[in-house]
Amino acid sequence: MVRDKRGDRAATSFERYSESSWRNLFIASSLLAPGTDGPVATRRLEAFREGVQECEARITIEEALYDPELKVRLGDDLAGRCEGYLQARHMMLWLSLWSMQCYYRYPEKQERYEGGGWRSLQNVAGHNWFLGSGYQERNWQLFALAGEVASALE
């Protein structure tokens, strides 16, 4: 990050700004890696790219649904399918965060039903659920709906 007069690496970003917290300056994960003919994409870059594409598709749908004039142009069928999809996707988000560990604090009384820190603790169960939940098919459905929305608004 910081080079000397010869162009050699002299310091990293968090060493240069020592008065700052290193956590906001230390980038341990690269989006590009060295390849034989130059930089190549890493898995992290591909995941980032996919996430941006999914956000763009979702934004296309949401903008059409939440603007009354555009929603009329979609028609009831397409608007209903988009709303249903977004609700299902929202539920998928919560299920993928959930530890799937619910219990009663006092089982004999069935009082204080708790989710066991489902958003704050490490979560292998939700992650595993997500991997087997058909997320790729849902993503294809997202892109198909976004395409239908774009076509309807042309």
What pLDDT score was predicted for residue 150? 97
What pLDDT score was predicted for residue 128? 84
Q: Give domain status of residue 22, yes or no.
A: no
What pLDDT score was predicted for residue 94? 81
Domain range for 64 is 54-153
At residue 61's C-alpha, the angle toward residues 55 and 67, to 5°, is: 125
Which residues lie below 8 Å from residue 61, measured CB to CB, with a gap of 6+?
82, 85, 86, 142, 145, 146, 149
Q: Give domain status of residue 31, yes or no.
A: no
What pLDDT score was predicted for residue 95? 80
Q: Give domain status of residue 59, yes or no.
A: yes
Measuring CA to CA, how many Å separate 97 from each of 58, 89, 100?
Answer: 20, 13, 9
Q: Give domain status of residue 29, yes or no.
A: no
Closest Cα to residue 119, out of 85, 89, 93, 87? 93
Q: Give domain status of residue 46, yes or no.
A: no
Q: Give domain status of residue 76, yes or no.
A: yes
Q: Please state the pTM of the whole predicted model.
A: 0.69
Q: Give domain status of residue 109, yes or no.
A: yes
pLDDT in 10s for each residue of the chain, 154 residues: 677 888 887 776 656 666 665 555 555 567 888 889 988 999 989 999 999 999 999 999 999 999 999 999 999 999 999 999 999 999 888 888 776 666 555 556 655 555 555 566 666 777 888 889 999 999 999 999 999 999 999 9
Q: Give domain status of residue 6, yes or no.
A: no
C-alpha to C-alpha distance for 79 and 24, rounded to whole angstroms: 41
DSSP-derived pairing of the beta strands 2-3 and 38-41: unpaired
What pLDDT score was predicted for residue 140? 97
What pLDDT score was predicted for residue 120? 62
- Under DSSP, the state recorded for 7 is S
Stated length of the chain: 154
C-alpha to C-alpha distance for 55 and 69, rounded to whole angstroms: 22
Q: How many domains does the chain have?
A: 1
